[in-house]
Amino acid sequence: MKRNFTARRGALDGVEAFLSVARHRSFRRAAADLGVTPSALSQAVRGVEAKIGAALFARTTRSVGLTEAGQRFLSRAAPAYEELIAAADAAREVGERPKGLLRLAVPRGIVPLLLQPVVASFCQAYPDIELEIAASEELVDLVAGGFDAGIRLGQFLDADMVAVRLTPPFRFVVVGAPGYLARRGAPAGVDDLKGHACLRLRRSNGAIAPWRLLDDGKPLEIGVVGPLIANDYPTLLGAAVEGVGLTQVPEPMVRAAVASGGLQIVLESFSPLTPGAFLYHPGRRQTLPKLRAFIDHVTRFTRSVGAVGKGEGSPSP
């Protein structure tokens, strides 16, 4: 048989009064302890007895004692009430200082780009916060999934989310390994991509993402073909480094590889500018200290490394 775990309205009214009287064995001392009048305290206890349907105290002019019903109620109510107080204190503590579990939904490509460099310093700076990163390309429902926040590129954010910029706008660039470009040649224009092995991204909805480029400053989406499809940028980038083909990825992801000569940017004048990476959250009431601490920490990091990527034009979302 299914049990009803819903507390009746007012079921906890007067419990604190009962516990205080049981502890002091005196209505007068209990009233002084709680800062109320003895008559108000007595009325609260009578209300509890009326709800239960049994007398909880045996009263005389000189003493107050527990009845059998009162003793049974005390044995269960006292630890339960203390647990409620502890629960309230724990919740209040999370609301007052950076503490607790911080769950973030993050695309895999963002982890090496933005999070990996700051995770260690954040955990050291805030030892009372447990940071959990769920790396996935899916656009998850933060509330349903139990996440405090997520990180996405600006064009993929829902309008009802509170968005906090983490990076400046940056370009999406097409890159290839020097060995691949030596074999196949570097494309000079959009039409040249038809003769190249293009590595493609599959979105969380199952569709293969087109490449977004600029043609005379105007946004252009084209379908490309090639030997590899993956659902995350790091996999595509790794294959490009190995010379499998060309791929289009966020420019900050390839800065190091381009600087070292492991990859080269092609079709640079066709590279579109994207809004950048944002942290987003439902924004209910106030931002908890644990999330505010993370936002501030990551923002300081992104400012310290400077702007990323420059380009012309902007693709439509």
Q: Which range, of 88-102, 147-161, 224-238, averages the lowest pLDDT? A: 88-102
Question: Domain check: are 143 and 176 in the same one?
Answer: no
Question: Domain check: are 26 and 84 in the same one?
Answer: yes
Q: Answer yes or no: is 310 within a domain.
A: no
Whole-number average pLDDT of the chain: 83
Instruction: Check residue 5 and give its pLDDT.
Output: 35
CATH number of the domain encompassing residue 147: 3.40.190.10
Question: Domain check: are 44 and 176 in the same one?
Answer: no
Pairwise pLDDT comparison (157 vs 229), residue with the higher score:
229
Which tokens in the block code for residue 250? Answer: 């966020």
Question: Domain check: are 151 and 179 in the same one?
Answer: no
CATH number of the domain encompassing residue 185: 3.40.190.290
**CA proximity to 292, closest of 153, 123, 98:** 98
Q: Answer yes or no: is 1 within a domain.
A: no
Q: How many CB atoms lie within 10 A of CB 266?
A: 20
Question: Domain check: are 134 and 190 in the same one?
Answer: no
Q: Answer yes or no: is 316 within a domain.
A: no
Question: Domain check: are 156 and 284 in the same one?
Answer: yes
Which tokens in the block code for residue 298? Answer: 């990551």
Instruction: Check residue 285 and give its pLDDT.
Output: 57
Q: Answer yes or no: is 82 within a domain.
A: yes
Residue 115 confidence class, pLDDT cut points 50, 70, 90: confident
Q: Which of 75, 96, 117 is the last residue of a domain?
A: 96
Instruction: Check residue 217 and give its pLDDT.
Output: 83
φ/ψ (deg, to 5) at 66: -85, 135
Is the CB of residue 164 less than 8 Å from the CB of residue 298?
no
DSSP single-letter state for residue 192: G
Q: Answer yes or no: is 256 within a domain.
A: yes
Once rounded to an integer, what is the mean pLDDT over residues 174-189?
96
Instruction: Check residue 1 and give its pLDDT.
Output: 39
Can you name the residues that pair with 273 across neighbouring β-strands? 171
Once rounded to an integer, what is the mean pLDDT over residues 220-247?
94
Q: Given a cut of 60, is residue 165 above it in pLDDT?
A: yes
Give the dihedral sign, CA 183/186/189/190: positive
Question: Domain check: are 154 and 286 in the same one?
Answer: yes
Question: Domain check: are 89 and 20 in the same one?
Answer: yes
Place of tokens 């993050």: 106
Q: Which of 72, 96, 120 is the last residue of a domain?
A: 96
Question: Domain check: are 19 and 80 in the same one?
Answer: yes
**Owning domain of residue 92:** 15-96
Pairwise pLDDT comparison (238 vs 95), residue with the higher score:
238
Q: Given a cut of 60, is residue 309 above it in pLDDT?
A: no
Question: Domain check: are 111 and 84 in the same one?
Answer: no
Q: Answer yes or no: is 315 within a domain.
A: no
For 269-306, write each residue's pLDDT tens digit. 999 998 888 888 887 555 788 998 998 888 887 777 55
Q: Which of 74, 96, 118 is the last residue of a domain?
A: 96
Instruction: Check residue 221 and give its pLDDT.
Output: 94
Can you name the residues that pair with 248 across neighbouring β-strands? 174
For 43-78, write each residue's pLDDT tens digit. 989 888 888 888 888 887 778 888 888 889 888 888
Q: Answer yes or no: is 300 within a domain.
A: yes
Instruction: Check residue 24 and give its pLDDT.
Output: 87
Q: What is the 3-state secondary structure (H, E, C) of 143-168?
A: HHHCCCEEEEEHHHCCCCCEEEECCC
Instruction: Give the count of domains, the chain.
Output: 3
What's the rounded Cα separation, in Å, for the pair 176 and 73? 74
φ/ψ (deg, to 5) at 42: -65, -40
Question: Domain check: are 202 and 68 in the same one?
Answer: no
Q: Answer yes or no: is 8 within a domain.
A: no
Question: Domain check: are 118 and 261 in the same one?
Answer: no
